Every structure is written in structure tokens, then in C-alpha cells.
């Protein structure tokens, strides 16, 4: 039966190539879309992932870093310093900002930090950290995209800053990070002595829950959140935003792949009606013929899946090379799962021709 | 020729549906992302465009609300108001925060406005009142629906409880919603001397462009933009953030559409090989047969295109019901882009069958 299935497919090579290509492209799209999303998730949590902090103090009601604006009551930084178990207190001022560069809107996330207290860039590609309140460190990908170099001037909220450094691993498709001194950020946002978040690094022997309780007793009108929780909250909100559009696009791509496979298998079955009739007449059961049809769908789907994985990897490398702001993460488990959906396509595509074969009357076939 | 082409295509209904369906789905891939982004654009600017303001005054260098922060002083507001053609200048405070309703967090712009001022609040309240008292909030009906909230229920914003007294419509987008509290409540939650934006109403017959220019000339600390321009700047964020992804999706859709159409044409040409052989034998030239193939391509693509438009429209009706804030809007640009892609697909997809027909030997057809 397998040999027969293969011969049915192989007899029309161009048709086989076109159908495998269609399935491969559909699966490539599904894998790429999921890879985009995984990349976004990895990029947007980069600040917290690279922070040595264990806890974050935010304004009451705020448990996200990126999604919401936080403004802490005065005195929180000093109060947090005095809590046993807290080794380091890092205040930051942060806010989304939009640059207008070469008539393009570029979204970026400003982090104002105090030099020497942490909270700034964790990896530099070039240059140095800011040492005055009119200097800025930009993400190198964002800088490269807009031909900005060290020493260039950049307008941030109508004030001019000098680019003194280029950071690495601070880029994302949605918004890159950029860093200024905390007092510069306060001035730009017209919020003197303000603090958005306080990052707390605990002593090695401190228990996080105990320190959290102490902080809750001492501080009022704040949220004290573990870095892990805050990171997850940021991810959850992103999932909320992107999940529905992603599912819609993936569903359409899956439907396209199934339609292509369905057309090929159905056509191949219709062309072989007499031969299927003969098989039935000589005693082949319906399930033999179903399996024959299904194999054709599965073989095409498997070929399409293998090529689709290759195309997805190639497309991902090409996209990331040409547009470094994108990070496409192809996790092997997820890729295999997506490719597995190709098998589902094959099985679904075989349903219509299976019905055709089931209803086939050998006598009618010979009468024609 | 078209009659023959139609008969070739439609002879087998299942194959016809699968072929046209595959083309429609491939074109749908291209249309859907564009429609999603256009829908997001509309939702993003809803507050701005429903505000009835003629001019938005922001901090110098700020041309947006989404992912931006602005701070202007009360003096800046009074300076803007002291223009002969300005009837009123209404302040708003604005931040991005989270509306907590029970177990769920909904990302929301929080706008603090003065109910005694003519501008700044929701353009229209669908249910309830726009007149806010202390500890009262107006949220969007999409959020109310998704979180099971009604008038009189409580939500938490920045650690403070508010009672829902009004519901707006159309102010929820895929990323966030818009919620309104009183200016006084906002100042209590986030103390400060500044306001975020001033919304200006100009006298009938006055030109907002000229009035905005005059404000900018008088005060370099602010940027006044006519509402139409402010809205345009806001829309540009979505466009600039998504242009590369859109290109990738369009290319994928184009290639998949090409594969499906080529497959459909190739299959139907193959099926009619004998008939084409007869036509050739009785004197039909190759270009006569090419024209039949071209007509088939045009028909299947036209039907696929119309079906794709219809599917986008249908999705546009269904999806907002299932996913509040996720809207689809067909645009002229999107439709034009897909039309051009369809033409490219049609020309390229007809090549394989044209090559088939050119090689067709009538004598061989009769012999086989």
C-alpha cells in the first residue's frame, strides 16, 4: 500500500513539488510567527533578567515594570536602605519615550539611574557610561538603524544629549532601552527627586519572604514584588496583547496548508477512481483505501514539514541579519510541535478523499 | 474563452472550492495583518479624535500620548489659553497603569480630567454618567464585558478603589483601554505640580494650525499640535513599528498564494490534457490555449480575492465579540497591496501550465 501511495504522488512531480512547497511555506509561517513571539518575550524581560535584584518596590497597584508608569512616595529609598537583609538599593526613573528619527517613530524605554548604584546597562558594545546629566547610552542596534554614532547629539524630549556609549543586549522589536543619569530623567519628566522603581538586592543569607514582610511593615502605599513575579507579569500582559492576533494568523496559515494538501490528495484520488474501484473489486476493504489516501497526505505533510523547518530557520537567520532588532527564537520542542501540526494537516486533508473512496461502487467504475 | 475557463475550473465542485478557498486564505493572510493594524490605529486614536478638542498642547518634543509622557506647568496652560482665539484650555493628567478588577489586571490609560471643564473627559458615555465625583471612574464597555463588571462595581487603580459610574464605547484597543477619573483623584494618587496635556477649543472660524503656531512661538517649553496632526502622529507609531512584520507577512502570503494558484492551474490543465490536444490538433495556436489558462488564473484569483475581502469583513464582525479591543479595518492601501500581489501571482502561476501546453504534442495525446 505504501508503495502504491508513493507512486500516486510521484507520478505528477510538478504537482507534488507545488503541494510540498505550499505546505512548507504555511508551516514556515507558523514556525516563524511563534519564533517572533518567543523572541519578543526574551527581549522585553531583558532588564529584569540582567538585574542582580531580588525584589522591586513599585507604586501601589503596580506589579509590572514595562506596562505601567510608577511613581513612588518620597522617602522610600532611604526607608528601604535601613531594612535588615537588604544589601543594595537601586532607585531608577523609567518611562517610555518616542523618538522622531528620520521621520520614523522609534519607541524606546528610558532608564534613569544613579551611576555607581547600578540599574544601568549591563553590557556595553562601545563607549562608556554617562557621567553627566546631558549624556546618554543608546542601544547599538537602534543607533545603527539610524546611523547614530558615539559623539552624535540626540534630542530627547526637546533637550539635547550627547551619545557617549552603545549598549548591547538592550534591543527589542517593540522598544529598545536607553540610559541617562537619574537626575536627567527627573528633569525630562518634570518630576524632581522622583523614583519609579527601587530594585533591591538581598544579602546572600537573607530570606526573601522575611525581608518582604519587613519592607511591608516599614513602607506604605507601595507594592513589593519579587523580580520573578514582575517579570512574569510583564510576560503575561504581552501574551494578552499578542496571543489573539498570533492565533488568528496561525489558524489561517494552518487552513491554507490543509487546503493545499486537500486539493492535491483529492485530485490524486479522483484521477485514480478506476484503480481504487479495481482494488475494491478484488477485495480491498475501505480502511485499506483510507490508509492509502492518508499516507499520501502524510508523506506530503512530512516532506512539507521538513522543508518548512529548514525554510523557517533560513528565513529567521536572514531576517535577523538584515533587521537586527528582531530576535526570532526557534525552540526545538515548539518547532517540533508546529511541524507536528503538519501531520494533522495531512490527516485532515485526507478526510474528503476518504469519503469519496468509501462511497465508491466498483461496478459503477467498470460501467464508465 | 472565459466560458471555457469557467467550465474547466468548476467542473469538479470540490476541487474548485479547495482551489479558490486556498487562494482566498493566502490572500487573507496578507489582508488580515494589515486589517488588524488598521483596526489598532483606529482604536489608538479614538480618545484623541472623540475629544472635540481643536489643539493638543504637550511638553516640548512630545507629539504622542501612546507610550509617551508629557508634563507642562499650569503657567504653560494659562499661556496657551491667553490667545484671543482660544475659548478654553482644559488640563488632563495622564498615565499608563493597571485597572485591577478582581483577579484580572487590564492595562489602561488613566486620564484625570476636570468634569467642570468642557474638554478632557470621554467624548461620549454610552451608559451612566460623565460627571465624576471623588472615587468614581468611567471605564470602557469592552473591559466591563470581559471582566464581568457593571455600574456600581468597584475596581482598583493605583492601589485605590473606584466605583464605576459610567461606560464608554470604542476606547479599548488590543493593547490597553482608557479609563477616566477626576483630576483631583489623580492628583491625590500621583502628587505633582504639572499637568500632562492641555486640550484647547478655538473660536469658530479660527484656524487651529495658526493658533497652534502662535502658541509654539510664544512658549518654547510646549508643543501645540492641531488635533488632526496629533492624531496622525499617533497613528504613525503603529505603522512604523509594524512595517517590517507586515512586509514579511505579505511576502509569505504572496508565495503561498502563488503555490496554491499554480497548483490549481496545473492540476486543471493536466486534467484537460486530451481536450487541449484536440484543440491543438484542429488548429488552435498556443496563444489561444494560453489565453484559456490566463482566464482560469484571472477567474480563480478574482473569486479568491472577493472571498478574502468577505472573510476579512466577517472576521471584523466576529472577532471583536470574542476578543474585546481587537478590531479589523480594511484599508485602501491594504486592498491595493493585495490586488497587486494577486496580479503578480496570476502572471507567475500561469507559467507552469503555459509551459505544459507549449510542449503538448496532439499526436502523443491521442496515442496515450
pLDDT(B3) > 90: no
Residue with cell 518630576: A191
pTM value is 0.84
pLDDT greater at residue A222 or residue B334: A222
Of B156, B256, B315, the CB nearest to A22: B256
B349 touching A (Cβ < 8 Å) = no
Q: Per-residue confidence at B26, pLDDT binned at 50, 70, 90?
A: confident
Share of chain B above pLDDT 90, in %: 39
Share of chain B above pLDDT 70, in %: 98
How are beta strands B55-59 and B136-140 bridged, if at all? Answer: unpaired
Q: Per-residue confidence at B242, pLDDT binned at 50, 70, 90?
A: confident
Grid cell for residue A338: 508546529
Q: What is the pLDDT of residue B349?
A: 76
Q: Per-residue confidence at B35, pLDDT binned at 50, 70, 90?
A: confident
pLDDT(B98) > 60: yes
User: For the segment B317-328, what is each residue's pLDDT rounded down to a tens digit?
Assistant: 888 877 777 778
Q: What is the pLDDT of residue A265?
A: 79
Average model confidence (pLDDT) for chain B? 86
Of A240-249, B58-67, B76-85, B187-196, where does mean pLDDT reach its minimum? A240-249
Record: contact B95-A69, CB cut-off 8 A = yes
Of A12, A19, A262, the CB nearest to B270: A12
Provide the number of CB pairs (under 8 Å) joining chain A to chain B: 186
Q: What is the pLDDT of residue A155?
A: 92
Q: What is the pLDDT of residue A149?
A: 95
pLDDT greater at residue B67 or residue A203: A203
Q: What is the mean pLDDT of each run of 10 residues along chain A (368 residues)?
A: 73 82 87 88 89 93 87 89 93 92 89 92 95 96 93 92 96 89 92 92 94 93 94 84 80 84 78 79 81 83 91 92 88 87 80 76 66
Residue of chain A minimizing CA distance to B26? A256
Inter-CA distances, B259 with A17, A83, A305, B303, Å: 9, 66, 16, 17
User: For the segment A262-319, what is each residue's pLDDT rounded down to a tens digit?
Assistant: 877 787 777 777 788 888 888 878 788 788 888 888 888 888 899 999 999 999 999 8
Q: What is the pLDDT of residue A197?
A: 96
Grid cell for residue B305: 480575492
Inter-residue contact A269 to B267 (CB < 8 Å): no
B241 touching A (Cβ < 8 Å) = yes
> What does the pLDDT average to over B167-185?
90
pLDDT greater at residue B120 or residue A325: B120
According to DSSP H, which parts of B162-285 are helical?
A: 183-189, 208-218, 227-271, 273-281
B314 touching A (Cβ < 8 Å) = no
Q: What is the pLDDT of residue B357?
A: 73
Q: What is the pLDDT of residue A229?
A: 94
* CA dihedral of B116, B122, B123, B124, whole degrees rounded to 10: -100
Interface probe for A, chosen from B43, B45, B67 (most Cβ of A below 10 Å), is B67
Q: What is the pLDDT of residue B115?
A: 92
Residues of A in contact with B266 (CB under 8 A): 14-15, 18
Q: Per-residue confidence at B364, pLDDT binned at 50, 70, 90?
A: low
Q: Where are the beta strands (DSSP E) in chain B?
A: 55-59, 86-101, 104-113, 127-128, 136-140, 154-157, 160-168, 177-182, 197-202, 222-226
Min Cα–Cα distance to chain A from B68, Å? 5
User: For the segment B195-216, what is each residue's pLDDT rounded down to a tens digit?
Assistant: 999 999 999 999 999 999 999 9
Q: What is the pLDDT of residue B41?
A: 83
pLDDT(B368) > 60: no
Q: What is the pLDDT of residue A42?
A: 85
Query: DSSP characters for B161-184?
Result: EEEEEEEESS---SS-EEEEEEHH
Record: contact B98-A63, CB cut-off 8 A = yes
- Number of neighbours of residue A288 by Cβ within 10 angstroms: 16
Inter-CA distances, A190 with A100, A157, B91, B193, Å: 20, 11, 16, 9
What element of type H or E holds B25? helix B13-44
Residue of chain A minimizing CA distance to B100? A61
Taking the C-alpha atoms of residue B224 and residue B235, their distance in angstroms, rounded to an integer, is: 17
Amino acid at each position: 500500500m505504501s508503495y502504491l501511495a508513493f507512486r500516486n504522488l510521484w507520478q505528477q512531480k510538478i504537482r507534488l513539488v507545488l503541494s510540498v512547497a505550499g505546505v512548507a511555506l504555511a508551516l514556515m509561517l507558523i514556525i516563524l510567527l511563534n519564533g517572533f513571539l518567543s523572541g519578543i518575550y526574551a527581549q522585553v524581560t531583558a532588564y529584569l533578567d540582567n538585574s542582580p535584584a531580588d525584589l522591586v518596590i513599585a507604586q501601589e497597584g503596580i506589579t509590572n515594570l514595562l506596562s505601567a508608569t510608577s511613581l513612588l512616595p518620597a522617602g522610600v529609598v532611604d526607608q528601604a536602605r535601613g531594612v535588615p537583609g537588604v544589601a543594595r538599593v537601586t532607585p531608577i526613573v523609567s518611562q517610555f519615550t518616542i523618538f522622531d528619527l528620520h521621520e520614523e517613530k522609534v519607541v524606546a524605554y528610558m532608564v534613569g539611574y544613579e551611576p555607581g548604584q547600578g540599574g544601568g546597562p549591563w553590557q556595553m558594545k562601545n563607549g562608556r557610561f554617562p557621567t553627566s546629566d546631558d549624556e546618554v547610552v543608546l542601544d547599538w542596534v537602534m543607533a545603527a538603524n539610524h546611523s547614530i554614532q558615539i559623539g552624535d547629539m540626540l534630542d530627547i524630549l526637546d533637550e539635547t544629549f550627547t551619545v557617549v556609549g552603545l549598549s548591547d543586549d538592550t534591543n527589542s522589536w517593540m522598544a529598545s532601552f536607553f540610559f541617562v543619569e537619574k537626575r536627567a530623567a527627573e528633569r525630562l519628566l518634570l518630576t524632581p527627586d522622583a523614583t519609579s522603581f527601587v530594585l533591591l538586592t538581598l544579602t546572600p543569607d537573607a530570606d526573601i519572604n522575611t525581608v518582604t514582610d519587613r519592607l511591608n511593615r516599614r513602607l506604605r502605599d507601595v507594592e513589593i514584588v519579587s523580580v520573578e513575579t514582575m517579570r512574569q507579569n510583564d510576560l503575561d500582559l504581552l501574551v494578552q496583547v499578542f496571543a489573539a492576533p498570533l492565533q488568528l494568523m496561525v489558524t489561517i496559515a494552518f487552513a491554507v496548508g490543509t487546503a493545499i494538501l486537500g486539493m492535491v490528495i483529492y485530485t490524486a484520488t479522483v484521477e485514480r477512481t478506476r484503480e481504487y474501484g479495481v482494488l475494491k473489486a478484488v477485495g480491498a476493504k475501505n480502511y485499506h483505501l483510507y490508509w492509502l489516501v492518508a499516507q499520501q497526505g502524510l508523506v506530503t505533510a512530512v516532506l512539507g514539514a521538513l522543508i518548512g523547518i529548514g525554510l523557517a530557520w533560513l528565513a529567521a537567520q536572514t531576517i535577523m541579519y538584515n533587521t537586527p532588532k528582531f530576535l526570532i527564537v526557534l525552540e526545538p520542542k515548539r518547532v517540533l510541535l508546529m511541524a507536528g501540526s503538519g501531520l494533522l494537516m495531512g490527516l485532515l486533508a485526507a478526510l474528503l478523499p476518504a469519503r469519496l473512496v468509501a462511497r465508491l461502487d466498483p461496478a459503477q467504475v467498470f460501467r464508465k | 474563452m472565459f466560458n471555457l475557463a469557467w467550465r474547466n475550473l468548476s467542473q469538479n465542485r470540490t476541487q474548485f472550492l479547495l482551489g479558490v478557498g486556498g487562494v482566498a486564505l493566502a490572500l487573507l493572510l496578507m489582508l488580515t495583518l494589515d486589517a488588524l493594524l488598521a483596526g489598532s490605529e483606529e482604536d489608538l486614536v479614538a480618545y484623541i479624535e472623540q475629544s472635540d478638542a481643536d489643539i493638543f498642547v504637550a511638553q516640548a518634543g512630545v507629539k504622542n500620548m501612546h507610550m509617551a509622557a508629557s508634563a507642562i506647568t499650569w503657567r504653560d496652560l494659562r499661556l496657551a489659553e491667553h490667545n484671543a482665539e482660544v475659548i478654553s484650555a482644559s488640563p488632563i493628567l495622564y498615565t499608563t497603569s493597571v485597572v485591577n478588577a478582581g483577579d484580572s489586571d487590564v492595562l489602561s490609560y488613566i486620564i484625570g480630567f476636570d468634569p467642570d471643564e468642557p474638554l478632557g473627559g470621554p467624548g461620549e458615555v454610552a451608559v451612566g454618567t460623565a460627571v465624576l465625583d471623588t472615587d468614581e471612574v468611567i471605564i470602557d464597555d469592552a473591559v466591563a464585558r470581559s471582566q464581568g463588571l457593571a455600574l456600581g462595581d468597584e475596581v482598583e487603580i493605583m492601589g485605590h478603589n473606584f466605583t464605576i459610574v459610567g461606560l464608554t464605547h470604542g476606547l479599548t484597543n488590543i493593547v490597553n483601554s482608557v479609563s477616566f477619573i477626576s483630576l483631583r483623584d489623580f492628583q491625590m494618587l500621583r502628587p505633582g505640580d504639572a499637568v500632562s496635556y492641555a486640550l484647547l477649543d478655538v473660536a469658530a472660524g479660527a484656524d487651529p494650525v495658526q493658533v497652534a503656531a502662535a502658541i509654539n512661538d510664544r512658549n518654547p517649553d510646549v508643543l501645540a499640535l492641531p488635533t488632526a496632526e496629533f492624531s496622525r502622529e499617533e497613528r504613525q507609531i503603529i505603522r512604523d513599528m509594524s512595517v517590517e512584520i507586515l512586509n514579511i507577512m505579505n511576502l509569505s502570503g504572496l508565495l503561498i498564494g502563488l503555490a496554491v494558484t499554480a497548483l490549481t492551474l496545473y492540476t486543471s490543465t493536466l486534467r484537460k490534457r486530451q481536450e487541449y490536444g484536440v484543440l491543438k490538433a484542429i488548429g488552435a495556436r498556443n496563444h489561444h490555449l494560453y489565453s484559456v489558462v490566463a482566464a482560469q488564473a484571472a477567474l480563480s484569483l478574482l473569486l479568491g480575492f472577493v472571498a478574502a475581502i468577505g472573510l476579512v469583513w466577517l472576521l471584523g464582525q466576529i472577532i471583536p465579540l470574542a476578543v474585546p479591543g481587537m478590531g479589523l479595518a480594511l484599508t485602501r492601501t491594504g486592498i491595493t497591496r493585495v490586488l497587486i500581489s494577486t496580479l503578480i501571482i496570476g502572471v507567475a502561476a500561469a507559467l507552469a501550465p503555459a509551459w505544459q501546453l507549449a510542449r503538448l504534442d496532439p499526436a502523443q495525446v491521442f496515442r496515450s
